[in-house]
């Protein structure tokens, strides 16, 4: 009995001491297990915890935009050529056409000249240096030879035929036109022929012959006989390939073949109905 009283007195003294220190209320309903608290991992207070990383906003994906590709140069050439109602409009379309770098390296557009309603049309390959400076077809040394050749059978550009080239721009260095360049300007040439409305063509040189007749045969095999060339709006036209005068200046012995072509042309014209 005495022991219990002594224990109560000790507890009362301890409680009084806590009150003196300011501990005037209990914070928990049950005592804390100090052993369990000691063995548990330390837990950081809420305020000390690092803030979670903000979630970046989800990017909004715009619908893919499809840019319309520019039509190929040949397609644009066909459209421009078909839309030209006359020679003046065709010349303006050629001058504005930017599908070939030849326009940037040449000096002048070489379109064509002669009798615009002639029954005979001559087609060469491309302007040379003299033609580029003058803006006229066949005015250099080879052009002067061509004029003499046709004058020998009674024909002249001033009164009997119209003359132009497949390419309206001079290739740099007077090089031979490429197949791609010929194909690019063929729509303009075919429209040129359709506007002149000739009854016969003379294809001067291998480039013009191959470009309009096609195939793999060279000019030496194509010359000397008439071929058929299809022109949209006109249908098939007789075409006579012949050697280019620039080649004849380098190979005078071939003038005999060119003379034979001119005689064939003259006979055909004389036999044609009026």
Q: Classify residue 37 by burial, with Cβ atoms within 10 Å: 0-12, 13-18, 19+.
A: exposed
Structure token digits, residue 39: 């063995």
Q: What is the pTM of this model?
A: 0.74
CA distance 22 to 16: 10
Q: Classify residue 241 by burial, with Cβ atoms within 10 Å: 0-12, 13-18, 19+.
A: buried
Question: 73-271, which class in CATH?
Answer: alpha beta
Any bridge partners for residue 204, and if so which? 242
| CA 263, 124, 178, 251 torsion-angle sign | positive
Number of Cβ atoms within 10 Å of the Cβ of 268: 14
**Under 8 Å between Cβ of 157 and 163:** yes
What are 181-234's pLDDT values in tens digits? 999 999 999 999 999 999 999 999 999 999 999 988 999 999 999 999 999 999
Q: What is the pLDDT along the chain (274 residues), one digit of tens a residue?
A: 555 566 666 666 666 656 665 555 555 556 556 566 555 555 555 555 566 666 666 655 544 444 444 469 999 999 999 999 999 999 999 999 999 999 999 999 999 999 999 999 999 999 999 999 999 999 999 999 999 999 999 999 999 999 999 999 999 999 999 999 999 999 999 999 999 999 999 999 999 999 999 988 999 999 999 999 999 999 999 999 999 999 999 999 999 999 999 999 999 999 988 6
CA distance 236 to 34: 112
Phi, psi of 165 (to 5 degrees): -130, 160
């Amino acid at each position: 009995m005495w022991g219990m009283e002594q224990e109560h007195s000790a507890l009362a003294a301890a409680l009084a001491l806590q009150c003196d220190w300011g501990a005037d209320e209990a914070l928990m309903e049950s005592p804390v297990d100090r052993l369990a608290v000691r063995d548990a991992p330390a837990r950081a207070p809420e305020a000390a915890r690092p803030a979670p990383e903000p979630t970046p906003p989800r990017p909004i994906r715009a619908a893919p935009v499809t840019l319309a590709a520019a039509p190929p140069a040949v397609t644009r050439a066909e459209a421009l050529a078909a839309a030209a109602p006359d020679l003046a409009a065709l010349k303006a379309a050629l001058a504005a056409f930017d599908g070939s770098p030849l326009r940037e390296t040449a000096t002048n557009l070489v379109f064509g000249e002669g009798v615009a309603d002639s029954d005979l049309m001559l087609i060469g390959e491309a302007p040379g240096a003299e033609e580029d400076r003058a803006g006229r077809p066949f005015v250099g040394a080879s052009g002067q030879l061509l004029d003499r050749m046709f004058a020998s059978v009674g024909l002249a550009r001033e009164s009997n035929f119209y003359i132009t080239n497949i390419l309206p721009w001079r290739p740099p260095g007077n090089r031979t036109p490429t197949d791609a360049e010929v194909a690019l300007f063929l729509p303009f040439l075919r429209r040129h022929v359709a506007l002149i409305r000739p009854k016969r063509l003379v294809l001067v040189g291998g480039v013009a012959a191959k470009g309009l007749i096609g195939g793999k045969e060279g000019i030496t095999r194509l010359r000397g006989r008439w071929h058929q060339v299809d022109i949209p709006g006109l249908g098939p036209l007789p075409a006579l390939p012949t050697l280019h005068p620039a080649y004849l200046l380098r190979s005078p012995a071939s003038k005999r073949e060119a003379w034979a072509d001119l005689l064939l042309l003259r006979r055909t014209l004389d036999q044609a109905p009026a």
